[in-house]
Amino acid sequence: MALERLIHHAPSGSTLNVLLKEAETPVRAVVQINHGLAEHAARYQRFMEALATQGIASIAHDHRGHGTTRAPNAPLGRFAKEAGADVVIDDVLAVHDVIANRWPSRPVIIFGHSMGGLIALDFVLRHPDRVQAAAIWNANFSAGLLGRVAQAMLAWEQFRLGSDVPSRLLPRLTFQAWGAQAPNARTPFDWLSRDDVEVAKYIADPLCGWDASVSMWQDVFDFVFRGADDRNFLRLPRELPFHLVGGADDPATDRGKAVQNLDARLQGLGFSNLETTIYADTRHESLNELNRNIITADFVGWIDRISLRTA
């Protein structure tokens, strides 16, 4: 069954493409989905339909510079002319307001994959009163010194080329480098999944796989380092449920080590309601992997186990 689609005009100036899926039984929770870099919300339809069968409504939108969302100074591959990370979070907040109107008083679980995981965690850090749980999947907050070097490289590119053009350097260090690590690779994107059909769909999709602008990469690293700063977690309740997922064959998270690092940091900060799983034989896109049904069922099981307070 097709997803419901609406166009939402956000206070930031974005015209957001929003997809919704109502639960098939009385709604017990709402999952707010944040997609990854160089993809879009419609790729989560199968996940949203699976949640609906379990009494879980869901909502997803195309971030600025992605899919069919439109915003000033935000063509495909760019968040904004300036302060891109901030306006992306403003858009997520606008979608949260849609949830409050559509499903009032239902607990909200914010979910993010990859770049979406960076965004989802940053939203939690800025608006801890807005969500009742957080699922951060396949996200890497362990950039460290190499991340600072990448920021310096992006600053050089901005000086020489401008901020609104595709980065020449970052694709080599990310997508291309990860593609080279996939065993027996047939395509540059086999690092995403072992499922050849899903990889082919990604390659054939004109809204996937493009090169991000210099400024978008700069904004992505803003998200990374906000999530890497322990001081930003001081406002969060220590009992907030976190669901962390990684793949043991995902080069984007150093084979899941970055996800384990986030788990260790959260434990060290006193968070007591964590569930972390690194799935064997799993690459970057957990929801498009051969074992996706198991991973989705585990996510629903986690929702069943945590105590969600009413929003």
- Tens-digit pLDDT profile for residues 51-92: 999 999 999 999 999 999 999 999 999 999 999 999 999 999
Q: Which among 253, 4, 87 is positioned nearest to 78, based on CA atoms?
A: 87
Q: Is pLDDT at 311 greater than 60 in this prediction?
A: no
pLDDT in tens, 233-273: 999 999 999 999 999 999 999 999 999 999 999 999 999 99
Q: What is the pLDDT of residue 1?
A: 66
Are 199 and 193 in contact by the 8 Å Cβ rule? The answer is yes
How buried is residue 252: exposed, middle or buried, by Cβ count under 10 Å (0-12/13-18/19+)?
Answer: buried
Residue 308 in this model has a pLDDT that exceeds 90: no
Whether the pLDDT of residue 309 is over 70: the answer is no
Cβ–Cβ < 8 Å for 14, 71? yes
pTM: 0.97
Can you tell me which residue has the tokens 């990604």? 202
The answer to whether residues 176 and 250 touch, using CB atoms and an 8 Å cutoff, is no
Asked whether the beta carbons of 245 and 138 are under 8 A apart, the reply is yes
| 303: enclosing H helix or E strand | helix 292-305
Q: Do the Cβ atoms of 139 and 112 come closer than 8 Å?
A: yes
What does the angle CA 248 – CA 253 – CA 259 come to, to the nearest 5 degrees?
80
* Location of structure tokens 């788990």: 263
| Proportion of the chain above pLDDT 70, given as a percent | 99
The proportion of the chain whose per-residue pLDDT surpasses 90, expressed as a percent, equals: 97
Q: Which residue has the tokens 């907040």?
A: 93
Per-residue pLDDT at 307: 75
Helices and strands, counts by H and E, the chain: 10, 8
Do the beta carbons of residue 94 and residue 68 sit within 8 Å?
A: no
Instruction: Quote the mean pLDDT of the chain.
Output: 96
Structure tokens at 132: 């009742």
Please, what are the domains in the chain?
4-305 (3.40.50.1820)
